[in-house]
Amino acid sequence: MISVITPAHNEELFIKKCICSVKVAARKIAEPVEHIVVLNRCTDRTGEIATQLGARVIDEDSRNLSRIRNKGVGESKGDILVTIDADSQMTSTMFIEVLRKLDSGKYIGGGVKIVPERISFGILCSLLVVAPFVLWHGVSAGMFWCLRKDFEAIGGFDEKLACIEDIDFGKRLKRYGKNREKRYYTIRNAHIVTSCRKFDQLGDWYFIKNPMVVYQIFKRDQKQADRFYYDARAEITEQINSAERKKPRPLI
């Protein structure tokens, strides 16, 4: 069985597309797939929507993404683990690629190619600011995939980290695989599409204008991480929800 873990904090505008993309990909393989959505202090309809779409919903109120993801893994049943964020969608052949790589015995797991939902010159330049920090660590992220036994062997996501816990996980998984003569692999024949909601709120040129933010996040600055990952997301979600509420409704 494949277990898909998705942390979700007020994701009612994104969770449907995420879950539906997982369901489409699941139809292309014989292996059963379960989808666990970990609700994190949700005050909207995220849980209701996820349940209606057949996902299993659990709660974890910590302000800590590692703990949220680990809780989902702990409640899951699959011997293959996949993590994907609520504002991302996987392409339909994703599970085919994951199974192909793991079944080969050559790969410990890895990440995937990430495609933003929209692109602009500002976003491209901002991503180029982030790229050197990611390349320095030598691992891809976005959506992780690995065997449960290997996830457990490295201790899952490090709950002591305030940010960049995904890069840390990837680096430890890569190191663990190297010791067992297995490669860390980035899936490119399939990919995820992720939202640009932070750019929508902060501006496409945000990282160009604020390069120290990137530095501070990769230095695991707790205050900066809280502001960028949690507080900013709450503001974005409220702005989007407010705009949605103001849209005229059909009379019929």
Tell me which residue of 2, 66, 18 sits closest to 192, measured CA to CA. Answer: 18
pLDDT tens by residue, the chain, 252 residues: 999 999 999 999 999 999 999 999 999 999 999 999 999 999 999 999 999 999 999 999 998 999 999 999 999 999 999 999 999 999 999 999 999 999 999 999 999 999 999 999 988 888 787 776 667 678 988 899 999 999 999 999 999 887 778 999 999 999 999 999 999 999 999 999 999 988 888 888 887 887 766 545 545 545 545 554 555 555 444 444 455 445 555 443
Distance (Å, rounded) from C-alpha 162 to C-alpha 178?
A: 26
Domains of the chain: 2-119+140-196 (3.90.550.10)
Euclidean distance between CA atoms 82 and 72, whole angstroms = 11
Q: Using an 8 Å Cβ cutoff, are 107 and 177 in contact? A: yes
d(CA 68, CA 74): 10
CA distance 27 to 23: 6
